[in-house]
Amino acid sequence: MTDEAVTRSPWGEWRNATPARLALGRAGAGIPTDEVLRFGWAHAMARDAIHAALDAGALEQALKAAGWTVAHARSRAEDRTTYLRRPDLGRQLHADDAMRLRESAGAATDVCIVVGDGLSSLAVERHAVPLLTALRSQLPPGTRFAPVVIATQARVALADEIGELFAAQLSVMLIGERPGLSSPDSLGIYLTHTPRRGRHDAERNCISNVRPQGLSYDAAAFKLAWLMRQALRLGLTGVALKDESDAAVLEGGTTPPTLPAP
């Protein structure tokens, strides 16, 4: 379609500030053909992100190369179709894996990190390792970690049961968020104090849209470290724990907060 056939939107300059679909213009009574094609491409990217299987082996190698101990787990959703149709099964740990993790658990730990595929394995593959690298640099050397658990067909609440098995004070779930039409690879973080089965979403803190085009790894790690420190100090997470990490920067300079030594 030629430029002459497209009526430009008067709000076109806003497109320089956001990837959102605005100020598309029009061709007659419809949307310009190039915008229709871009929409179709973005929709296909989002759909592929939901259905693509996580390469757990490659993620394990990357985590081990970064110095993490790794374990694996599955939810009770046996395949992707079941996972999408039965969210409840994605919140429950497979019985065999529950037994194996229970047997491998040692003494109580400070933090249990779960990396779940969620609704975008692409987000996990791209962002989990660099985020954890940024986080680790802000935690004291003596922090007691459970093995990082790579969980497939996972929903957020799966970290509750895993964290409970490791007797962790905090669980941190890194999970692929539901893809948007301009962000098929957004990573979400969910922090829960004293994780156990039956926890609900009001008892968690969430940090979302972690990716280079959204919230950077360093910024997300800073917020998470601040929330972890406060969660351990106050003994809670969720609606009762407000994210005031920005105020901490203004009051105390730009040095990221750290967790107290165990």
**Shared domain check, 62 and 22:** no
Whether residues 134 and 89 fall in one domain: yes
Domain assignment present for 262: no
**CATH, residue 199:** 3.40.50.11240
Position 258 in a domain: no
Same domain assignment for residues 79 and 199: yes
Whether residue 78 is found in the same domain as residue 11: no
pLDDT above 60 (res 82)? yes
Any domain includes 203: yes
Q: How confident is the model at residue 140 (pLDDT cuts 50, 70, 90)?
A: confident
**Residues above pLDDT 90, as percent of the chain:** 66
| Long-range contact pairs involving 86-92 (C-beta distance under 8 Å, separation at least 24) | 87/155, 89/153, 90/153, 90/154, 90/155, 90/158, 91/155, 91/156, 91/157, 91/158, 91/160, 92/158, 92/161
- Domain range spanning residue 20? 3-50
For 71, what's the count of Cα atoms within 13 Å in the CB-facing half-sphere?
23
Q: What is the pLDDT of residues 5-16, one digit of tens each?
A: 778 777 777 777
259 assigned to some structural domain: no
Based on the fold, state whether residues 112 and 41 are members of the same structural domain: no
Question: Does 190 fall in a domain?
Answer: yes
Predicted pLDDT of residue 226 = 94
- Residue where a domain terminates, one of 50, 73, 88: 50
pLDDT number for residue 258? 46
Helix ranges (DSSP H) in the chain? 33-51, 56-65, 80-85, 87-90, 95-104, 121-136, 158-165, 217-234, 245-252
Residue 257 lies in a domain: no
Asked if residue 114 is part of any domain, the answer here is yes
Token representation of residue 157: 């609440």
Say whether pLDDT at 45 is over 80. Answer: yes
* High-pLDDT (> 70) share of the chain, %: 92
Same domain (yes/no): 156, 212: yes
| Residue 91 and residue 215 in one domain | yes
Q: What is the pLDDT of residue 262?
A: 39
Do 46 and 128 reside in the same domain of the chain?
A: no
The residue-averaged pLDDT of 30-47 equals 84
Same domain, 117 and 215: yes
* Together in a domain, 110 and 169: yes
82 within domain boundaries: yes
If one counts the domains in the chain, the total is 2
Q: What is the dihedral of CA 249, 251, 253, 255, to 10 degrees?
A: -50
Tens-place pLDDT, residues 182-230: 788 999 999 999 999 999 999 999 999 999 989 999 999 999 999 999 9
Same domain? For 140 and 121 the reply is: yes
CA angle 170–114–256, rounded 5-degree value: 55
166 and 45, same structural domain? no
